[in-house]
Structure 1
Amino acid sequence: MGLWDDLKMQYRMGGITQRLIFWNIGVFLVSLIFYEFRLGTFIFPDWLALSSDPLVLAIHPWTLLTYAFLHSGFLHLLFNMLVLNYAGMLFLTFFKEKQLVGLYILSAIFSGIIFCGAYFLMGRVSIIVGASAAIMAILVAATTYSPHMPIRLLLIGRVQLWHMTAVILIIDLMQLMIENTGGHISHLAGAFFGFTYIKLLQTGTDLSKIVTGTVDGVLRMFKPSQPKPFKKVHRNYNTQPRSTTASKTAVKDKKQQQIDEILDKISRSGYDSLTQQEKDFLFNAGK
């Protein structure tokens, strides 16, 4: 199985967090066609990046979402994807994958609006890219739901989840007016949205259904209607020996059991823990 097949299998089996990472990497690679490279930073046009200029935003409203899949450089992308992988793992300990997608999209839009509003009030114009605000929302949501969850940090050891999140928020507040003001504003807006999302969820309001409901509705619009099959009565003449049928059923059950064992191994240790033979078997079984 080649590298491309391996990537497709990881995308299919890796879960929604890994798919978001794939989307971010894919969009970044495609967007390189439209960038300018200055002083080690990728400068994206204002029809992709989010601009705080109200006129530009009115012409390009989709940038309220597209900016959350763009990054200003390879290191920016790498750091954000590492944090997204960690925050997504924490969030999915308690919630569903659809809720993660909904939170990512809604928090990105909310943070973009807050960024534009803040810069408009300050009389400044700037652009912003990056998934940081949406990632912050996911991290803060997990922290709000389970603040005392124990985690282990490299070189520090065992701490509670809220300790790490509090340090990140304090750093954002300290640097708010020093550098990358727009970025820190969006981070704090994302944190606020993540906190609000959990508090509303605990009262029975799931904001992520706005996204999932919209997506499901669009998919239903483009899904071709299936004609109802004619009812027909027929008699089943089974000329196949019972022993042959039972043998095929046993082979099918054994194959399904092997698939289930591999999927359990992925859920426990991740896709990378599979042997090459197991990867090939799972890939061929999915065809």
Structure 2
Amino acid sequence: MNILDDLKLQYKLGGIALKMIYWNVACFLVSLVFFYSFKVGVFDFPSWIALSSEPAVFVLKPWTFLSYAFFHDGFLHLFFNMMVLNFSSYLFLTFFSSKQYLGLYILSAIFAGVIFVLGFNLMHYSGAIIGASAAIMAILVAVTTYSPLMNVRLLLVGNVKLWHVTAVILILDLMQFRLENSGGHISHLAGAFFGFVYIKLLQNGIDMSKILSIVLDFFTNIFKKPATPFKKVHKNYQKPAERPVSKIVVKDKKQQQIDEILDKISQSGYDSLSQEEKEFLFQAGK
């Protein structure tokens, strides 16, 4: 099994958080090829990806209220965002479902984009933003709002309360609000606010992530192939011939082996698998 097959298998077996990290990394690699100037050493994102505060731009390109949340303007920007995303995703998915995770990520990114546009126009600024920080802040603040006293272990620090980590990040954002990247900090704080409101509404029985589920189900049903009408066929009853038991035994044995490998992944991680086990899972998933 080569590296590409290994990555495909990890993507297929991984949860929504790993898939989101894969998408962010993939978008960064695409931008590195098409939007990075090696002469100047900076990214130049087009107006159909970055979210601009100019009404004449975002009105004609409304998808940028979401597309900006999957691209990053540097390796360090991507690296630190993915570290926080991995950390907060693990905690969030301890309590909530994958659909809620995806809904929160997308809806918070859109909300933060709207607040950025409104804020910049009210302050008579002009600019554009890029990055997943707003959506990541929403996930982090959401799980912190739900379980603020959860103990988390940080490298070189030790055990701390989850709200301590979130508070430090929010304070740093507030301190840098007027120094640089004002648009980015506006979107970060807007994402944090959305994560807080999301949990408070959820605790009162309102799940905003269902909005996304309804939209996705709508488009899925549009492109879904119509089911073949059931035709009832009358036949004379005959006692079915006995089938060899061996096929069932082989199938059960194969499924049992898959289950054992998946249990091993859940306990020790994907890297604990042997090469033969990875190969077996890859072939079984075809």
TM-score by length of 1: 0.94
Q: Structure 1 counterpart of 2:90, which letter?
A: M
Q: Equivalences for 1:164-243 in 2 at 5 Å?
A: 164-234=165-235, 235=237, 238-240=240-242
Sort the Cα spacing of 1:260 and 1:123 in 2 relative to 1 into closer, same or farther, 3 A. same
Structure 1 residue 238, shift from structure 2 partner: 4.6
- 2: CA distance, partners of 1:91 / 1:39: 39
- 2: CA distance, partners of 1:36 / 1:56: 22
Q: CA RMSD in A?
A: 1.5
Q: Structure 2 counterpart of 1:257, which letter?
A: Q
- 2: CA distance, partners of 1:178 / 1:120: 19
Structure 1 residue 128, shift from structure 2 partner: 0.5
Q: Size of the alignment, in residue pairs?
A: 284
Q: Equivalences for 1:261-272 in 2 at 5 Å?
A: 261-272=260-271
Which residues of structure 1 form unaligned runs of 5+? none
Q: Is the 8 A contact 1:34 1:45 kept in 2?
A: no
Structure 1 residue 229, shift from structure 2 partner: 2.8
Structure 1 residue 247, shift from structure 2 partner: 2.5
What is residue 250 of structure 1 aligned with on the other side? 249
Structure 1 residue 266, shift from structure 2 partner: 1.7
What is residue 111 of structure 1 aligned with on the other side? 112
Which residues of structure 2 form unaligned runs of 5+? none
- 2: CA distance, partners of 1:236 / 1:250: 26
Q: Is the 8 A contact 1:57 1:63 kept in 2?
A: yes
Q: Secondary structure at the match of 2:59?
A: helix
Q: Equivalences for 1:127-166 in 2 at 5 Å?
A: 127-166=128-167
What is residue 24 of structure 1 aligned with on the other side? 24
Q: Secondary structure at the match of 1:59?
A: coil
Q: Is the 8 A contact 1:71 1:77 kept in 2?
A: yes
Q: Structure 2 counterpart of 1:55, which letter?
A: A
Sequence identity percentage: 62
Q: Structure 1 counterpart of 2:11, which letter?
A: Y
Q: Is the 8 A contact 1:40 1:73 kept in 2?
A: no
Q: Secondary structure at the match of 1:159?
A: strand
Q: Equivalences for 1:44-55 in 2 at 5 Å?
A: 44-55=45-56
Q: Secondary structure at the match of 1:83?
A: helix
Q: Structure 2 counterpart of 1:72, which letter?
A: D
- 1: CA distance, partners of 2:259 / 2:75: 37
TM-score by length of 2: 0.95
